[in-house]
Structure 1
Amino acid sequence: MTQTQSKENRTTFDAAQIKVIAFDLDGTLIDTSQAMLDVNHEVFSEAIDNGDAKKQPTKEEIYSTFGMIGDEAWNTLASEIPDGRSDHYKERHNELLRDKMDTQSYVLPGVPELLKSLADRYDLATASNCGEAYLARVLAKDGLKELITYPFCAGSVDAEQKSDVLRELLRQSGLDTSQVLMVGDRKSDVDAAKEAGIPVVGVRSEFGDADELQTADVVIDKIGDLKKLFEKQ
């Protein structure tokens, strides 16, 4: 039995049993951070000009919302915008983001090649807190749609939290918890995997604090290192 071990927390999982690898999106497979910064800047500039907001959200405040589910991210950033105007700016935000994602790929370098190599041996899944339309736009680029067996997100399974997405993946795949691996870059990914009872690989990224991944089974420096975890089998 081949096992993979983290130097940081000494937790192991049996890599030889894994049949499905589930990926978080933002920070793990894609990077829409600049698009998010640009869109929020434009929307809040309009709100400030109209007297509906006092200031721009900071980069740190925007990054802190990555991984939030449903409208939580928008409600966090727009908490000071009057209720009667918030929906207008939220729709403007979504419209601008849709336009950007329809015209540009945000997939991280090397990800299409990595997924293609993994798809030869494993079924691949997504496990994101995003909505269906957002996921569809991500998968429409770089041939990703054809590589993902289980395109799941909070919106597609009506999840209240990311662990619900993973539980639905377990249900539809019919696999045991030891046979599904979660890969993500934030504490929310690690927590969701732990709640669903599956092993998790943490990927370091600029969006999380240094200690966010300390309870992951394995921590890697970049997504391309994932393949190395399975090469010795």
Structure 2
Amino acid sequence: MAVIIFDLDGTLIDTGSIAVEAYRLVLSEFAYKPEEFPSEETMLKTFGLPDTEIWNTLLPKHTLEEQMIGFERAGERIDDEIRKRDILLPHARDVVHELHDRGYTLTTASNCGTSYLDAVMSSQGIGHLFDRPVCLESVHGTRKSDILRALISRYGEGEALFMIGDRYTDRDAALEVNIPFIGCDFGFGDTTELTGAVHLVKDLLGLLEYFA
């Protein structure tokens, strides 16, 4: 059976409100006034990007060291809130259970850090369905394609792997390593970011039809 690789934010989960709240608190700690904050749309558009790119957007006038302080402060707040809330997108729990029951191997490829990944997998009732989920930090990578290469090495060149995601970073990573990309046309990206997908789904139930 195929290996189905899931992005997290905008694909399986939505931590948008949690993250925006944490970002605003951190910006306040850096003495930004509310009128100086990036718009909520700008903040949400950073979802799915590597952490360095997120904080370069949020704190563009600050040093890398200061940006990483912001990242750590926000990350602690976000991880704590994830453990308190149901952040799964509609149908996510049922879909991953059904795909697992059908015999598919499920894993992850997220640009997040290990603490964030652990918070999601340990709190949402789906972690046991995933085979050794990984993220950018856990493979010591800089781009999502680094995660996919690690997964190809894990499962073997001859195994059928599929990348499921909502952003151009998911698409580009899949194209770079030559595996099919299925676009989630309901996440943080727009339709133009999903050009080149072998299939588009309007909600997660569409994956049950594709992987029938």
Which TM-score applies when normalising by structure 2?
A: 0.91
Identity %: 36
State the secondary structure of the residue aligned to 1:57. Answer: coil
State the secondary structure of the residue aligned to 1:124. Answer: strand
- Structure 1 residues 159 and 109, CA gap change in structure 2 (3 angstroms): same
Equivalences for residues 52-71 of structure 1 within 5 A = 55-71=36-52
Aligned partners of 2:110 and 2:76: how far apart in 1? 20
Coordinate RMSD, CA, aligned: 2.0
State the secondary structure of the residue aligned to 1:71. Answer: helix
Aligned partners of 1:114 and 1:67: how far apart in 2? 21
The aligned length equals: 211
Aligned partners of 1:227 and 1:40: how far apart in 2? 35
Match of 1:204 among 185, 190, 195: 185
Larger radius of gyration: 1
Aligned partners of 1:165 and 1:140: how far apart in 2? 21
State the secondary structure of the residue aligned to 1:183. Answer: strand
Match of 2:16 among 23, 26, 33: 33
- The residue number in structure 2 matching 1:153 is 135
Q: Deviation per CA, 1:57-98, whole angstroms, max 9, x where unpaired? A: 111211221111142211221112466754443332222212
Match of 1:137 among 119, 140, 150: 119
- Structure 1 residues 158 and 89, CA gap change in structure 2 (3 angstroms): closer
**Residues 55 and 68 of structure 2 are in contact (CA less than 8 Å); yes or no, is this contact kept in structure 1?**
no
- The residue number in structure 1 matching 2:7 is 24
- The residue number in structure 1 matching 2:145 is 163
State the secondary structure of the residue aligned to 1:103. Answer: coil
- The residue number in structure 2 matching 1:173 is 155
- Amino acid across the alignment from 1:171: S
Aligned partners of 1:128 and 1:169: how far apart in 2? 12
Aligned partners of 1:215 and 1:165: how far apart in 2? 20
* Runs of 4+ more than 6 Å apart: none
State the secondary structure of the residue aligned to 1:146. Answer: helix
Which TM-score applies when normalising by structure 1?
A: 0.83
Match of 2:95 among 102, 114, 134: 114
What stretches of structure 1 of length at least 5 have no aligned partner? 1-17
